[in-house]
A = this chain, B = another copy of it.
């Protein structure tokens, strides 16, 4: 009798496989279960994260330019460090590619990696390519030096804390829908030129996202350390539930507070889709979702890129969304994007 992986789901599988692991080394401060591991050697504290992006699952090369892919792969890793409230210092990249890839395409991929490293001030210190039977697999490992008292885990949200999110949500998911639509049209008629004008924001958020270095710096400069933080990579619902389940809390968020860009809403309209669904369940946003004590609220006022969307409640109150009309809705883990 063998059980398919899908029976447990991504999060179930990992906790099933790693739930019994007890770190033995004094240098391991935090192991599996957050955006990055936290290690301490002498007076140095580091965050380290490693992640894989697979062709056909996380990206589609028929509409993803290789430079953008390189940039996004680096951003993916850096975002995990920012989610711990740590800035990246080094990046290691290991790529497996099949024989169909050209030297030129790898050059473009590395150009993207190098641009991201430049912008995020990280050194590319490990590069390895190996063959693959089919497709492209990218592994990114990022290392950042942490300030111990500023490290922000996901399991330390407190009842009463405000829930904040950077930027706007759901755009990357709608960008993906446009790219998929144009791909289908092109497959039906190769004479058709993809119509991407007017979708710059949503497509840009999908193809060439940025990690929130600016928010990381704002938090540092305003002396604000979130009580908990995660990056929005699986969708607001899923990532907020991660904070709540790790912190053993509930939450209440408000429909009209969730930041959705006009273009995201318009694009959702074209697909007869509720924009909120994209914001809650789409992935790849790379925004920061964090909680702060109510008495720190003043420090956020007027920041154009941070929205307060709700607050943390006691665990027995559950996790709920207050919609525009009607009764509150329980937040469920749902994923409509490409991953998982």
Interfacial residues, chain A to chain B (CB-CB below 8 A): 2-8, 10, 13-14, 16-18, 21, 23-25, 27-28, 30-32, 36-37, 39, 41-44, 46, 48-52, 54-58, 89-90, 92-97, 99, 101-107, 110, 114, 121-135, 137, 139, 141, 143, 145, 339-340
Contacts and interface: CB of A to CB of B under 8 A. Distances in A.
Given A52-B95, A131-B57, A13 B102 contact: no
B44 A106 contact: no
B14 A129 contact: yes
A7 B96 CA distance: 17
A42 B44 contact: yes
Nearest to A122: B25
Given A3-B102, A21-B127, A39-B89, 11 more contacts: A2-B102, A3-B104, A5-B106, A13-B103, A17-B106, A31-B126, A41-B89, A50-B94, A92-B141, A132-B135, A133-B134
A158 B188 CA distance: 64
Given A14-B128, A135-B134, A41 B44 contact: yes
Nearest to A23: B123
Contacts of A124: 18, 21, 31-32
Contacts of A41: 44, 46, 89, 145
A83 to B, nearest CB: 14
A90 B39 contact: yes
Nearest to A100: B4
A56 B133 contact: yes
A48 B125 contact: yes
Nearest to A46: B41
A2 B57 CA distance: 26
